Amino acid sequence: MPLETEHLTGSPNDSEPVYLTLGKLRRAHGIKGEIPLEVYTEILELLTPGQVVFVGESHQALTIEATRWKNDLLLLKFENHDNREIVSHLTNDLVYVKSDQLPLLDDEAFYYHQLLGLKVFEEDGKFVGHLSEILHTGANDVYLIENEKGEEVLIPAIEDVILEIDLEEQKMVVAKLEWYGGTA
């Protein structure tokens, strides 16, 4: 099952780092350089003291010095950012990590960004298209597959339908999709 890492951003080029959004900074808090973060991720170990994060469109590297919760916002204190004026220029910037900073997952788990772009095949080898979007619904995620003609197919992300995911081969195998109209 995929693990939540919202808001993919960065370069689609494999030779460049891909940045994943952890949250959005709000207005400076107090006078000692704290700034609240609206947290978008469930992987909170990426937001602990000593972690390097990348802030804003320029991906400025900053090290987290301290954190504490204030209601549903995480107050961050960055190293060498000791007053309100210094951190106030970060207001509304997004906070990122590089994808290689993410914790390793077991073989049965994937991050959403790893699935985007996979080639999707039916179990008989018929090419369906590329996974272009993951839709979050109440019951289960739904994968939006786009074929070469630009047509879209929605596939529920459930065990009975998703038969295999091979990240090395960049492919996904799904059960035969007779219900969507593309198969006779």
Q: Domain 116-180 class?
A: mainly beta
Whether 21 and 9 have beta carbons less than 8 Å apart is answered as: yes
Whether 99 and 20 have beta carbons less than 8 Å apart is answered as: yes
Per-residue confidence (pLDDT) for residue 25, from 0 to 100: 98
Per-residue confidence (pLDDT) for residue 167, from 0 to 100: 87
Q: For residue 171, which phi and psi values (nearest 5 degrees)?
A: -140, 155
Q: For residue 179, which phi and psi values (nearest 5 degrees)?
A: -75, -15
Per-residue confidence (pLDDT) for residue 11, from 0 to 100: 41
Q: Does the structure show a pLDDT above 80 at 14?
A: no
**Average of per-residue pLDDT across 10-30:** 75
Q: Does the structure show a pLDDT above 70 at 111?
A: yes
9 pLDDT band, cuts 50/70/90, is: very low
User: CATH second-level architecture of 2-101?
Assistant: Beta Barrel (2.40)
Of the two residues 173 and 1, the one the predictor is more confident about is 173
| C-alpha–C-alpha distance, residues 117 and 161, integer Å | 18
For the chain, residues classed under CATH 2.40.30.60 are 2-101
Which residues face 145 on adjacent strands?
131, 153
Q: Each residue of 39-62: pLDDT tens digit?
A: 999 899 999 999 999 999 999 999
Query: What does pTM read for this prediction?
Result: 0.66
